[in-house]
Structure 1
Amino acid sequence: MTITWSDPGCFPVADGVHRIPLQMPGDGLRAINVYVLETDSGLALIDGGWHRETTYTEITAALARIGRNADEIHDIYVTHVHRDHYTFAVELRRRHGCRIHLGSAEVVGIDAIARLGSNVPESSLRELNRAGAPLIAEQAYKDSVGEPFVAADWERPDSWLSEGPLVLPGHNLVAIHTPGHTKGHMVFHDLDRGATYTGDHVLPTITPSIGFELGDWDLPLDKYLRSLHLMLDDRDRIMLPSHGDTGSGVHARVRELLAHHQRRFAATMAAVERLDSGTGLSVARALTWTRRERPFDTLDNFNQMVATCETLAHLDVLAHRGKLLVENQDGVDVFTVR
């Protein structure tokens, strides 16, 4: 039987490092890779996972395969503040007292979640309205406002990470700030093993969502592209991503992602030209989506929300670069070719 990357288990990826895929049923990503690092005093994790009813059983069963226990976990380094990465770290801290570390720029997201007290993507709803997509925003609100929300899953970390070396005996790790997917996203270079824990910043088969986070909208795609180039400024390493198979080179995938966005900029410009002028929604409708080149109207509401926000992110960068003109008309940004 063929084993896929998301199948349950505990898989060695380097000396003293194992990968545990924690399941995400009902989510298109299928699972999140949590990395277990053996240290002189126990275990450390890169990312915590999504707190669900079965997650603790999953991780204890996986750790048992290498003769380890969850109570050995003393530190968890979270790449970013999304719930599939953060919330189970908080549950592990409640159970075992381990310390949680998160990028300092994620304080905006943590505070916004605490203020909202729900899963409503407030910032995305705001940008959907700016994109001329109030119906998508209305449905997104209805879909999220009733979702179960546990405020305790979003307690603050024990420390806020800045760029630089991490104190983790047996692992020569350096934290690098890579904003874009979220404001405080971090990747962690393992200097001795020639690997990088890339979080959602660099994924092997998909592009991470851009513009789907809480807080001010501050040209997230521009920041993401700058963060991709930052990965090319350092030596190449093996990619240990949060979703998907391990083992690919970081540089090759970064170049693919940069090329993808260049194609997307060209397609976005062409769509605005065909439309004479366009909103985030109208341009998103004029493009195709996913690797299957699906029409916009075949996407469910959640993915229409993501697609519209990503289109708006591309349009904003093109306007910032002087390629497009933008005029706000009754709260909706309208873009035209300069």
Structure 2
Amino acid sequence: MTTRFDRGQWAQGGAQTVRPGVHRVPLPLPEDGLRAVNVYVLEEDDGLILIDGGWSIPESRKALEDALAGLGHDLAEISHVLVTHIHRDHYTQAVELRRLLGSRVYLGSGERRGLELLDELRTDQPVGSLRTLRLAGAHELADRIEAMDHGGFDPSVWEAPDRWLEAEELRFAGRTLRVVPTPGHTRGHVVYLDQARGLLFSGDHVLPHITPSIGFELGDGPGLPLGDYLASLRLMTTLADATLLPAHGPVGDSVHGRVAELLAHHDDRLDETLAVLGARTLDAHAVARELGWTRRKVAFEDLNPFNRMLAVNETAAHLDVLVDRGRAERSTADGVHRYTRRTEAHEPLSA
């Protein structure tokens, strides 16, 4: 039986058993609105497997050590770290654990270019997101984000994994995990499905209370991140339903149930975005300023700069899907994308 935790408790420290041999450990994210990132400890006869590694900071390592001690284990027993995606709160401590313990690190192959860019650019600033801001007409916001302190760049925590993962099965002593690529949040995001136990370690792909940012990448790239994300959500409905073990938030009852909510949310958001356009031609920054944000419909101007960046990037992603579906048109002038509603298009947004 799954142990459930409410919204106020999930980020508290310590190991919480969700199934025999499966434990959720929230690790701190100081000064981050997400509060914590869940890593999952899987007890195997030949060692411990972690799903995601956490952020490479002293507070996180201490919280992990303490949680493992409460389970009767220690760091030295960690043999494998299976990471869902490249963001620092998931990947960097995995690399640190490998350096300390010799643990093997796994990462989706779609993240390869992101790691290459980190090495080329020598920065973990959201370069691609800054470019999106400027294409969206949010030049002042882009300049402000670029000038912020992003914590410095430590190349030692951005090393390549021991193994790049494709769509495949990973077999351990007492467990088989299916690797399912789910691009959208990042190009190389993967989830891990324990079919025998009915568990999905969903990373940031399916979250219980929030919608993940889309296409939050270091560099530029082709494709349609929101389109990829929606396709990845629909892919979840073709798999057997499972208990949701997310990277942020409490354990959920049903992956399918939450996926349905997320798909409905994005359909509604596409409708709202199109309604803001109306008969006007606007850039994504202008559209974002007229939309409400979070479940509480917070005004754009009441968001902090980082969340304004996410809001503009998300708005641009929705506008690009509207263009892809023939509901809007995009033009470019002076380096800024502008969007116009296509009044002759009548196909449903949920196509």
Q: What range is the shorter-chain TM-score in?
A: over 0.9
1:32 counterpart residue number = 37
Asked if residue 242 in structure 1 is aligned to residue 247 in structure 2, the reply is yes
Give the alignment partner of residue 218 of structure 2, picking from 198, 214, 226.
214
| CA distance, structure 1, for counterparts of residue 50 and residue 170 of structure 2 | 13
| CA distance, structure 1, for counterparts of residue 94 and residue 207 of structure 2 | 21
| CA distance, structure 2, for counterparts of residue 168 and residue 301 of structure 1 | 44
2:288 counterpart residue number = 284
Within 5 A, what are the aligned runs for 1:100-115? 100-115=105-120
Q: SS state of the match for residue 54, structure 1?
A: helix
Q: % of aligned pairs identical?
A: 48
Q: CA deviation at 1:247?
A: 3.2
| CA distance, structure 2, for counterparts of residue 289 and residue 128 of structure 1 | 17
Asked if residue 254 in structure 1 is aligned to residue 253 in structure 2, the reply is no
| CA distance, structure 1, for counterparts of residue 31 and residue 222 of structure 2 | 28
**Matched letter for residue 201 of structure 1:** H
CA contact (8 A) 1:180 1:227 kept: yes
Q: Which stretch of structure 1 is more off in the superposition, 79-88 or 7-16?
A: 7-16
For residues 238-286 of structure 1, the C-alpha deviation after alignment (integer angstroms, 9 at most, x for no partner) is 0000010003200000000000000000000000116x11101000011
2:276 counterpart residue number = 271
Q: CA deviation at 1:330?
A: 1.2
Q: SS state of the match for residue 58, structure 2?
A: coil
Moved over 4 A (4+): none
1:299 counterpart residue number = 303
Q: SS state of the match for residue 105, structure 2?
A: strand
CA contact (8 A) 1:165 1:175 kept: yes
Q: How large is the RMSD of aligned CA atoms in angstroms?
A: 1.2
Q: CA deviation at 1:108?
A: 1.2
| CA distance, structure 2, for counterparts of residue 136 and residue 226 of structure 1 | 30
**Matched letter for residue 158 of structure 2:** W
| CA distance, structure 1, for counterparts of residue 147 and residue 124 of structure 2 | 11
1:151 counterpart residue number = 155
CA contact (8 A) 2:134 2:336 kept: yes
Q: SS state of the match for residue 252, structure 1?
A: helix
**Matched letter for residue 283 of structure 1:** V
For residues 192-227 of structure 1, the C-alpha deviation after alignment (integer angstroms, 9 at most, x for no partner) is 111100000000000000121123152100000000
2:347 counterpart residue number = none
List alignment gaps of at least 5 residues for structure 1. none
| CA distance, structure 1, for counterparts of residue 218 and residue 336 of structure 2 | 20
CA contact (8 A) 2:208 2:252 kept: no
| CA distance, structure 1, for counterparts of residue 140 and residue 180 of structure 2 | 38
| CA distance, structure 2, for counterparts of residue 170 and residue 60 of structure 1 | 24
CA contact (8 A) 1:108 1:214 kept: no
2:86 counterpart residue number = 81
Q: SS state of the match for residue 48, structure 1?
A: coil
CA contact (8 A) 1:284 1:296 kept: yes
Equivalenced residues, count: 335
CA contact (8 A) 2:125 2:218 kept: no
1:160 counterpart residue number = 164
For residues 279-334 of structure 1, the C-alpha deviation after alignment (integer angstroms, 9 at most, x for no partner) is 01000011110111011111111111000000000000101111101110111111
CA contact (8 A) 2:123 2:153 kept: yes
1:132 counterpart residue number = 137
For residues 8-39 of structure 1, the C-alpha deviation after alignment (integer angstroms, 9 at most, x for no partner) is 00111112111111011211111011000111
List alignment gaps of at least 5 residues for structure 2. 1-5, 343-351
TM-score by length of 2: 0.93
| CA distance, structure 1, for counterparts of residue 233 and residue 62 of structure 2 | 36
Q: CA deviation at 1:171?
A: 1.4
| CA distance, structure 2, for counterparts of residue 196 and residue 169 of structure 1 | 19
2:314 counterpart residue number = 310
CA contact (8 A) 1:204 1:248 kept: no
**Matched letter for residue 51 of structure 1:** S
| CA distance, structure 1, for counterparts of residue 134 and residue 222 of structure 2 | 13
| CA distance, structure 2, for counterparts of residue 247 and residue 123 of structure 1 | 32
Asked if residue 56 in structure 1 is aligned to residue 96 in structure 2, the reply is no
| CA distance, structure 2, for counterparts of residue 97 and residue 23 of structure 1 | 23
| CA distance, structure 2, for counterparts of residue 43 and residue 323 of structure 1 | 49
Q: CA deviation at 1:183?
A: 0.3
